[in-house]
Structure 1
Amino acid sequence: MEIDELFLGITDMIGEVTDIKWIDMDFGQMDSDQRPPVGYPCALISIDFPQISDLGNNVQKPKVLINVKLCFDYQGETSVKAPPNTRIRALSYYPIVKSVYKKLQGQRIGTSPMKRTSQIESARPDRIKILQMTFETVFVDDSAR
């Protein structure tokens, strides 16, 4: 398996979550002060190899971290003083997060099933809510043979 196949496999799986309107590689779209020109909710994907084992004969086994940044145009109010229906609507992004998690968790895209290792939420001043999930897997890279 090569990194492009890995990326395409991940984006295809996330593409099955119909609520996601935009799926792309993470090029730092959310790092700008200006509102990014993407469809919301969106999924931005990056892939890292933080550790690589050498198996010999130009074959390696990388530990793969798949970072899925889910971005939402957040609307609503979650204060305990807000009406209950308003609070429920404000949390409507959580089912989308759960759907993406269920699409990826346990899927075998490498030599081991993907497993979520972290989930971190953040928010921007322009009310874009960002939730980043990191999944881990490994695969055998024999592309240098």
Structure 2
Amino acid sequence: MITILKSIQKRINEIKEIAYVDEDWGQLDYYDTRPPVQWPCALITLNDGSFSNIGRDKNKTPSNRQQGIITLDITVANLKLTNTSFKSSSFQKDQGWDIWNLIEKIHEKLHGWKPDHKASGSLIRASCKSIRRNDAIQEIHIIYTLVLNNI
């Protein structure tokens, strides 16, 4: 699993506009006045996994083989300091929509890409959700699924 998480982190880090890429350990929630991140950020975590038995292979370790389906949560967050009101200036609106440009760049990097060519299938986007917060942080979660084969 660590190979997959590190590969995703490296791939997202290729996007120069993202200042901070890390495993999500609660950086956006567990802070006093300022989250310990740089803006904008992308945080990666394993949401869920289910595994099925696909038989035995005595030549492999472990010999009981499985197929897994996991969901990964990529949280994209930024300080939202400008609004996107229709009557705002073009410059202000463009800055207000920046997070969606980042989400598109992440999607272009991850969707259909294999983070571990030996054991995984391709990442497939499954859902997206905005989180309402009471601070100036705009937070969007993108969920990807990944099939792990013969593990």
Structure 1 position 103 matched with structure 2 position 109: yes
Gapped runs of 5+ residues in structure 1? Answer: none
Name the Cα RMSD after superposition: 1.7
Gapped runs of 5+ residues in structure 2? Answer: 57-63
Q: Which structure has the larger Rg? A: 2
Residue matched to 2:130 = 121
Distance 1:8 1:85 in 2: 35
Residue matched to 1:48 = 47
Distance 1:68 1:141 in 2: 25
* Alignment equivalent of 2:5, drawn from 4, 7, 20: 7
Q: CA deviation at 1:112?
A: 2.1
Answer whether contact 1:49 1:62 (CA < 8 A) is retained: no
Answer whether contact 1:52 1:61 (CA < 8 A) is retained: yes
Distance 2:36 2:150 in 1: 35
Answer whether contact 2:111 2:124 (CA < 8 A) is retained: yes
Answer whether contact 2:121 2:149 (CA < 8 A) is retained: no
Structure 1 residue runs of 4 or more that deviate by more than 6 Å after TM superposition: none
Q: Mapping of 1:62-81 within 5 angstroms?
A: 62-81=68-87
Secondary structure of 1:45's counterpart equals strand
Distance 1:21 1:123 in 2: 22
Q: Which amino acid aligns with 2:23?
A: M
Percent identity at matched positions?
A: 24
- Please give the per-residue CA displacement for 1:25-52, whole angstroms capped at 9, x wherever unaligned: 1111112363211111111110134321
Matched residues, number:
140
Q: Could you tell me the TM-score, scaled by structure 2's length?
A: 0.84
Secondary structure of 1:112's counterpart equals coil
Q: Could you tell me the TM-score, scaled by structure 1's length?
A: 0.87
Distance 2:98 2:13 in 1: 19
Q: CA deviation at 1:5?
A: 0.5
Answer whether contact 1:75 1:90 (CA < 8 A) is retained: yes
Q: CA deviation at 1:93?
A: 2.0
Distance 2:149 2:72 in 1: 16
